[in-house]
Each structure stands twice: as C-alpha cells, then as structure tokens.
Amino acid sequence: MKFFKQFLYLLILVSSASIHAAVIEEIIVTATKREESLLEVPVAVSVISGVTLDNGSINNLQELTLRMPSIMMSEAQAATNIFIRGVGSGQNYGFEQSVGMFIDGAYFSRSRAYRNPFFDVERVEVLKGPQTVLFGKNVVSGAFNVTSRGPTEEWENSITAAYTPEFDGKEFSGVVSGPVSDNVGIRVAARYSDIDGYLENSLPGAPDPYAREQYQVRGTIDWDITSNLTATFKTEISEYDIKGGYATQPGFLSPAHLALTQVNDPNAEANFDFNVSVPSPVGSDPLFDGLFNNTNTQNMTLTLDWDVGNHQITSVSSYVAFDFEALTNNDHTNLQVVAGPQRQDSQTMSQEFRIASTSDQFLEYIAGFYYADDKYKTRLQASVDLSQSVLAGAFGTDRLGRNQSTTQRGETWAIFGQATLNFTEDLRLILGVRYTEDRKSTNKRLWYSDISTLDNAIPDATVRGAYNFVFGTEHNLLGVKRKTDDVPFAITGEWDAMEGLMLYGYYKEGFKAGGFEEDFTSGVLADFEFEDEGVKAFAFGAKWSLLDGAAYINAEYFHSEYTNLQVSTFSVASFLVGNAAAATSQGLDVDARWQVSDQFSVGGAFVVLDAEYDSYATGPCILDSTGNAPPGSCDLTGQPLQYAPDFEANIYAEYNWEVYNGWQMGLTGDLTYSDKFFLAGDLDPDYVQPSYAKFNATLSATSPDGKYRFSVVGKNLNDEQTSHQKNDIPLASFFGGKGGSAFSDPPRMVSLQAEVNF
C-alpha cells in the first residue's frame, strides 16, 4: 500500500507541471449494440484499446484482468475461474457463465474457450453488473465484449517479434490487411509464441512446469455487397499447449506427507515460492507419462448488416468449438499419487437477428431473436495409487481408476426488445425485456476400473468392491432433462444534468439457468441437479466530462442481490456444486482519465466492494487438520464471497516526447493494488491471497514515419508472488493430514519487442 501511495504522489507532481490541456479522443463502445461514446452508456464499462494491449504485450485474459479492479480470472487445471464484483462461475464444466464472453458478437459458452490469446484486437469492453436484455444469455455478473480488428481501407502490413531472455520466450506475429477490390477487403493475422515455465523443478530428470506454446490464425473478409448491405466473415483457429503441468505446488503439507516427497527428492519443499518438486519425466510412470494440457479452438462468425429505410437489420451466425485433452498431477507433489487424464469437447452454434431504429427520434428501439444449440461431452478419470499412503493394502487393491463420462445438449431461444423514450433532449427512459427458454438433456456415468487409458477403462469388480462409496457411487443416468424459462427485464433512466454530465440509474432482474453437476459422484439423483440463479440489481451512476474534454470521471454505486447463487467447492476428492440461498454484491466503482497535455496522460480506477452471503446455512466446511471434512454442512451466512477484495485500484500514466530527428519515445507505467481475498469456496483461511501491489512499465521508441517501433516491456517489475487459485490437495488425509496447493502467477518478466510496418 505504501508503494501505491508513493506512485500516486509522483503522478500528482508530474501532472501539476503540465503545460497545457489537450482533449481525450472519444472512446466508442458497443455495449448497447450501437456505437456510442463511453460517456453516454448508462453502465459501468472498463475499456482497453488494442494499442494498449499491443504496447503492453498483454496476450491473454488473465494478464488483462490482473490490471482491472473487481475483475478476477485464473486458469485452473479443470476449468477457468472468472469473477466480476465477487460473482462468477466456479470450476464445473456444466455451469453456464455468470460472466459472458462475446467476441465479434459470438457467444463463447464454456470457460475453457476464454483461454484464447488476445491478438489483433480493436478493443476490449468489460461491462460490469447484470446484462439482462441485449447480450446472449444468462449474463448475471458482467460481460467481456471483444472487437477484433477488421480489414483496412489501405494496405497495411506488419511483423512483430518479442523475446523474453530469462524464460527463453519467443513470440512472432504478422498482419496483412487491405482492399482486394473496390468492395472487398481482407485481413489475415497470425501469432506464435513459445516460453519456458517460470517455476524451477528440483526433481531430477523432470522439466520445469508450465512451459507454454501457442499459435493463432485469423482471417477476415469484408464485402460491401450493395450500397446498403455488408457482410463480414471471420474464421479463426488456435492451439494452446501447456507442457510439464501447471504452475502449481504444495503451499503446505503435513510433516509425514512432506517426508514422503523428500524420499524422491531431498530438495522437495512445501513453501509458496518459485521452487517445486513435481513429476513429469516421460517414461517414468504410466500415470504421469509427460504431463500436458492442450486446448484447440475453432470459431467462425458471419455478420450481415442491411440498412433498410430508417432501420438496420443485423444477422450474426456463429460456430464456436474447442477440444481439450490433459494429463494433470492432481496431488501437486512428486509422489505420483493422483493423476487426472481428461478430455472435453464442445460445440456451440448460435443465430441472432436484430432490427434497430435510427437514434434521432422520440422512440428508438432494438428488437431481436436469439437461438443457440450447445453440445459438450467430457471424459474424466482420477487415477489413484495408494501404495505409498497409510492405507496401503487396506482395500485389497491400491490402484484404481474412477471414471466419469458426461454428454449434454442444451438449447436456448430468446426474444428481446429495448425501447428508448427521448422525452426531451436531456431526459431519457430505457425499457428492456427478454424472454428466454433453456432446455437441457444429459447422460452421466461413473464406474471403477483398474488404472488404464481413458479409452480402455473397463469396469472392474474388485476395484468397485474396494472403493465404491469411498470415492463415489457407481451410476448410469440416461436422458435426464430439465427445462426453465424466465423474463429478465431492465429499466434505466438518463438525465443530462448539465453540459458534460450525464446521470443515470437502473433496476434490472435477470437469471442464470440451472443445470447438472458434471463432477457428480454421490449417485443420488436429487443431488445431480442445481437450480436457476436469480439477480435483482440497481445502480446509480454519473458520466462526467471535465476541463473542456481533457478529462472524465465515471462513477457507479451498485447493489446486486442474488438468490440460489451457484457455487462450486472442492472437498477431499471432487468438486461439490450447489446453490447458496442468497448473496449481495454492492459497492462503488470509479474510473477516471486526464489528458494533461498532448504528451502526458494519467488515469486510474478503483472499486470498493462489499460482497457476502446473506444466507448460506448449507455451506461447505473447512477440512480439519487430518484432511477430512466434518460431517454435515457449515453456515457461511454473513461471510464474504471468494474473489471479492474490499478494495482494488489501478493507476497508470503515459508520457511521449521527441528525442532526435522525429523519433518518439514513449513511457507507460501502471500500478495495481488489491486487498486480501479468499480463493477457496469454503473460505478456508489457509487459502487467502494477501494484499499486494504490482508495477508494470513499457519504454518504446518509434521512428518518424511510424515504420519501426522498439520496446522494452516489464511485467510485475517488483517481482511480487501471488496466486489466484489455491485449494486442498486431493486425498492428502491418506498421507498424514491436510495439505494445500497454490497456482503461482507469473514472476517479473522483461521482454524485448520490435515491430516493423510496411
């Protein structure tokens, strides 16, 4: 916190020395499905431009959210956690997403697809709070609205290369864009990166975990079919491979458990630092024969815009798919006890039609229809070897495979409409409503086998007799169905109180569909299904342009009440999914920017958050010192939500100046601060991320004609070690007592970057 205050004081001193004020370039967003100024949209929106992403070498969603208050994203072995204002979807493949992802109008329904790298992006808009009418489906906490760069009117080509010396990180990207005829433009963009892991593995013969290799290729075609009809087709493929397992390690172990790991490696430890001792050498053991985590994605989007009189008709057709396969080390030590081979496939096809009136009349409106067909299937195995545990020989067989298979199909359709009544030039009322219907059908099976590959796991009576009811009950549920519908709505008022000041307030009701627990193990049908989640939210905000357009302040007080909040908590050997009775997320969200001069700008954002369970008598319990869960449930009423720090802030500054013969230098820096917050769903104090501050900076030089750009990019320059994912170690009770694991965020990284435009 002291470092944060010193940095803020330095910005104030530099700002006070400015020569003259400039004007902030207008920021255009599509948060309301129309192109509007950021200062005219009645919702809290954080916007980051593609130029900022490029200059800061921000290549994925996790790096982006580390710099944005109240937004949390972390990659876990099973799924991706993403939360806004303390509300999100935990680790379960069956969850709809509380925070929606929309890329060029297409809805990405599964969190695994959120791991796509950011590349060649025009801007990223983060809408905070429920988006109940115009966006996709079931968006109760917020939405990412990503716009890719499209074809340019003139030919533009670029090549960029970057190198991170300490971790042998290499990155190459290229773009070709321009017109191929008077009415057709194309853009082709590609990126490849390869970087070593940042944890040092002390186990002999085992590589450092979390080495990553990625590539992404995107092609876009714009076609002006007629003077009032345009088509944009985009197709993209990407691959994200993790070698050597995730950057995870034991944060603590019982003395007996630690002693076992030190038999394999005398240097093994249980401290949260950048040193680990984890298996992965190829050929060492069939369970851990080369840990990996590979995700392949494909998506296509066709957008048609047709101007008809005073209306615009828009059609968005999309196909989003990914396949994921992994072999994970689930006990996070070198003992090779619990391996997690798994596979997931997902395909979503969607179609949206919208009709929008012009915006220069008393009544403005948007109406539309949405349909999505979503299919996914998973195949999971917990491959367990208890031969080194205190239970060796107790069951008659020490090696088991707990197998789970799930297939699901979901169909969603919705009709929606939003009308704006312009009573005067300064006073507006916006009314929106959406009818949504969700249908789901699923098959779920759990069976026991001896340890084998995913495709050859044959039911084994001996293993079933030994472990049935211990790690789950065998079951085979076929054709289980559910249907739900709801009518979310929103009422918003806007008032231009004075020149440059817009005040707004809204009330919204929304929901997120329930579903089936993909990691369901009890075999009791009543436990298989979880219920719809509902939200009632209101907010009051202001958008204020100051100093003749040289500065702005956006502020919003928000209050969201959730019923049947969907939660996922890990306990002993699996994730438990259920509904908390009620929770409230409320607070103050402020962001501001000041273009002090043509060369210098400063800005920042902060969020004060109070997010807690109003009623949760059936909450999960913290494991005791032996690593076992107490019987029954625990009352978490009045306790904070996970991923909900009381205060978060980010401040940044940018300064540009000429140095020699037209060469421009640029220096940007930002500082992020977060209070402590819980990382585990049971609110275990062993799994808290303490408060922290991180500093990032970029120094660049650009040639007079803009053809060349050279940069030094520093991330986490103060080398703060943090984690956005901590939890219990599976089956640690069999090895001497409770143990905890932590996923380490990246340490300090400094990259050299060169860009050529031609």
| Distance linking the first and last C-alpha atoms of the chain | 45
In a domain, 413, yes or no: no
pLDDT at 215 over 60: yes
Mean pLDDT score of the chain? 89
Instruction: For residue 514, give both structure tokens.
Output: 């329930």
Query: pLDDT tens-digit profile of 434-452?
Result: 999 999 999 999 999 988 8
Quick check: is 418 in a domain? Answer: no
Residue 296 resides in a domain: yes
Domain that holds residue 15: 2-407+424-517+528-757
Query: Which band of pLDDT confidence, cut at 50, 70 and 90, is reported for residue 470?
Result: confident
Cβ(244)–Cβ(208) below 8 Å: yes
> Is 414 part of a structural domain of the chain?
no
Sign of CA dihedral 726, 727, 729, 734: positive
**Sorting pLDDT into bands at 50, 70 and 90, what band is 573?**
low
Smallest CA-to-CA distance from 251 within 586, 681, 646, 685 is with 685
Would 110 be classed as within a structural domain? yes
Q: Helix (H, G, I), strand (E, B), or coil: what is residue 132?
A: coil
**Both tokens of residue 736?**
């001497």
The residue type found at 73 is M
Distance CA 136, CA 77 (A): 27
Distances in Å between the Cα of 320 and the Cα atoms of 113, 134, 230, 544 are 9, 20, 22, 39
As given in the structure block, the two tokens for residue 531 are: 């219920």
Confidence category of residue 9, pLDDT binned at 50, 70, 90: very low
Q: Return the minimum-mean-pLDDT range out of 171-175, 277-281, 479-483.
A: 277-281
Residues 6+ apart with CB under 8 A from 746: 198, 715, 716
- C-alpha 160/C-alpha 54 separation (Å) is 10
User: Is 640 in a helix, a strand, or coil?
Assistant: strand
Residue 412 placed within a domain: no
Provide the sign of the torsion angle of the four alpha carbons 718, 673, 701, 152, taken in this order: positive
What tens digit of pLDDT does each residue of 692-710 get? 999 999 999 999 999 999 9
Instruction: Identify whether the C-beta of residue 736 lies closer than 8 Å to the C-beta of residue 266.
Output: no
Work out whether strand 723-728 and strand 708-715 pair parallel, antiparallel, or are unpaired. unpaired
Q: Give the pLDDT of residue 712.
A: 97
179 domain residue, yes or no: yes
DSSP reduced 3-state for 165: helix
- Check whether 576 has a pLDDT greater than 70: no
- Provide the token pair at 324: 């994921």
Query: What CATH number is attached to the domain comprising 32?
Result: 2.40.170.20
pLDDT digits (tens, 9 = 90+) for 365-375: 999 999 999 99
Higher pLDDT, 61 or 193: 193
Amino acid present at 479: G
Higher pLDDT, 572 or 209: 209
pLDDT digits (tens, 9 = 90+) for 366-413: 999 999 999 999 999 988 888 888 888 888 888 889 999 999 999 999
Let me know: does 46 contact 35? Beta carbons within 8 Å.
no
**Taking the model in full, what pTM does it have?**
0.90
DSSP H helices in 555-643? none
Mean pLDDT (whole number) for 109-129? 81
| CA–CA distances in Å: residue 741 to residues 71, 336, 727 | 23, 15, 6
What are the φ/ψ torsions at residue 667 (nearest 5 degrees)? -130, 120
Closest CA to 484 of 412, 591, 385, 398: 412
Would you place residue 14 in the very low, low, confident or very high pLDDT band (cuts 50, 70, 90)? very low
What's the pLDDT tens digit per position in 509-534? 999 888 888 888 888 888 888 888 89
**Which band of pLDDT confidence, cut at 50, 70 and 90, is reported for residue 570?**
low
Q: How confident is the model at residue 8 (pLDDT cuts 50, 70, 90)?
A: very low
Tokens for 74? 């972390």
Q: Residue 12: pLDDT band by 50, 70, 90 thresholds?
A: very low
Which residues are bridge partners to 381 per DSSP?
403
pLDDT value at residue 571: 62
Instruction: Report if residue 245 sits inside a domain.
Output: yes
What does the pLDDT read at residue 15? 43
CB 340 within 8 A of CB 451: no
CB-CB contact of 516 with 444 (8 Å): yes
* Joined tokens for residue 94: 């069956």
Per-residue pLDDT, averaged over 279-302, amounts to 79
pLDDT of residue 603: 95
* Confidence band, pLDDT 50/70/90 cuts, at residue 10: very low
Question: At 19, is the pLDDT very low, low, confident or very high (cuts 50, 70, 90)?
Answer: very low
Give the whole-angstrom CA distance, residue 523 versus residue 472: 7
Average pLDDT, integer, range 546-553: 93
Is residue 443 within 8 Å of 478, Cβ to Cβ? Answer: yes
Residue pair 463/448 in contact by the 8 Å Cβ criterion: yes
For residues 61, 63, 65, 67, the Cα torsion angle rounded to the nearest 10 degrees is -150
Q: How confident is the model at residue 283 (pLDDT cuts 50, 70, 90)?
A: low
Instruction: Report how many domains make up the chain.
Output: 1
Q: What is the pLDDT of residues 606-661, one digit of tens each?
A: 999 999 999 998 888 898 888 888 888 889 999 999 999 999 999 999 999 999 88
Residue 648 in tokens: 């978060």
Give the pLDDT confidence of 647-701 residue by residue, as tens digits: 999 999 999 999 988 999 999 999 999 999 999 888 999 999 999 999 999 999 9
Let me know: does 195 contact 163? Beta carbons within 8 Å. no
Mean pLDDT computed over 569-596? 82
pLDDT of residue 574: 61
**CA gap 221, 235 in Å, rounded:** 9
Q: Is the dihedral of CA 496, 500, 501, 502 positive or negative?
A: positive
Q: What are phi and psi of 295, to 5 degrees?
A: -130, 125
Of 3-17, 269-283, 459-473, which has the strongest mean pLDDT?
Answer: 459-473
